[in-house]
Amino acid sequence: MGPLTDQLRREPPGLHAGGEEYWGLAWEALAWLEREVRPGMATLETGSGASTLVLAAADADHVAVTPAADEEERFRAECARRGIDGSRVSFRIGLSHEVLPTLDGPLDLVLIDGAHGFPYPVLDWWHVAARLNVGGRMLIDDAYMPPVRALVDALRAQPHWELEEAASFRTAVVRKVADGLPSFDWEGERIGGGVGFAYLPARERVVASARQRLFSTRVGLRAVELARRRTGLRFRRRG
């Protein structure tokens, strides 16, 4: 751990739910931030909490995006109580999918830990991805939750990003290795558990699944090729 992380673990601050609750990164992830963040780094997080205190103590130029204005008040009070200089931390109050498009400037590190319902983790990533410097890192918390896991799976499959490590059992660290947009077409990435037809009625689901498996085989692909030749149409396999 680190000195501040140890302090927070011994005495978790009540920063949420009217000051009555502590929500935050796993202690290992907080220790990762305390170890890796350097003074002057440009950082941003969706959400706020103990991570905001750690980033303030690291002298990062930090932005916290949260819809709860009272979280800033409690953060400032906690900084004063613990002797942390919070002057380089600015809060942007509002929903992240509305606030993030209004911000600009390059970033060295991002923490995605705001709204966890679909599609908000993806939107948070989308609005900051271009701003993150090549070589910069993004922490994605609660990566085991399906809407968040879909984002992590997608980044693992993209050539512009790589999974670097796990900062904790629930926090993935991805590094941006190049600028670029995701592919505009599906390329077989196994995101969300792979191919499925759960949106169909049960009987149609069985038929669709069987047909998909058939036309994903060499024999099925050969049949599609023969049909293409007969009709003069071009078919493209999507499964």
| Per-residue model confidence as pLDDT tens digits over 13-33 | 877 777 667 778 899 999 999
Examine the domain organization and report whether 152 and 221 are in the same domain: no
Question: Number of C-alpha atoms within 13 angstroms, CB side, residue 44?
Answer: 22
Examine the domain organization and report whether 36 and 134 are in the same domain: yes
The verdict on residue 182 lying in a domain is no
If you average pLDDT over residues 189-216, what whole number do you get? Answer: 76
The verdict on residue 181 lying in a domain is no
pLDDT at 2: 84
pLDDT tens by residue, 112-159: 999 999 999 999 999 999 999 999 999 999 999 999 999 999 999 999
The verdict on residue 34 lying in a domain is yes
Of all residues in the chain, what percent carry a pLDDT higher than 70? Answer: 87
| Both structure tokens of 197 | 């037809």
Determine the straight-line distance between the first and last CA of the chain, rounded to whole angstroms. 46
Examine the domain organization and report whether 203 and 162 are in the same domain: no
Examine the domain organization and report whether 17 and 121 are in the same domain: yes
Q: With residue 176 as reference, give the H or E element that holds it.
A: strand 171-176
The verdict on residue 212 lying in a domain is yes
The verdict on residue 142 lying in a domain is yes
Examine the domain organization and report whether 70 and 141 are in the same domain: yes
Radius of gyration, alpha carbons of the chain: 22
Examine the domain organization and report whether 107 and 224 are in the same domain: no
pLDDT at 206: 85
Whose tokens are 């680190």? That residue is 2
Residue type, 188: G
Examine the domain organization and report whether 167 and 211 are in the same domain: no
Please give the residue range of the domain that contains residue 224.
195-239
Q: Which of 146, 176, 206 is the last residue before a domain boundary?
A: 176
Identify the residue with better confidence: 99 or 226.
99
The verdict on residue 186 lying in a domain is no
**Count of domains in the chain?**
2
Smallest CA-to-CA distance from 138 within 117, 102, 114 is with 114
DSSP of 5-74: HHHHHHS----BGGGTB-----HHHHHHHHHH--TT-EEEEES-SHHHHHHHHTT-EEEEEES-HHHHHH
Residue 75 pLDDT > 90: yes
Examine the domain organization and report whether 200 and 233 are in the same domain: yes
Any idea what the CATH number is for the domain that residue 12 is in?
3.40.50.150
> In whole angstroms, how far apart are CA 183 and each of 81, 175, 200, 202?
48, 18, 27, 32
Residue 231 pLDDT > 60: no
Examine the domain organization and report whether 128 and 205 are in the same domain: no
Examine the domain organization and report whether 122 and 227 are in the same domain: no
Examine the domain organization and report whether 102 and 199 are in the same domain: no
- Rounded distance, CA 21 to CA 142, Å? 18
The verdict on residue 190 lying in a domain is no
Q: With residue 76 as reference, give the H or E element that holds it.
A: helix 69-82
Summary mean pLDDT of the chain: 88
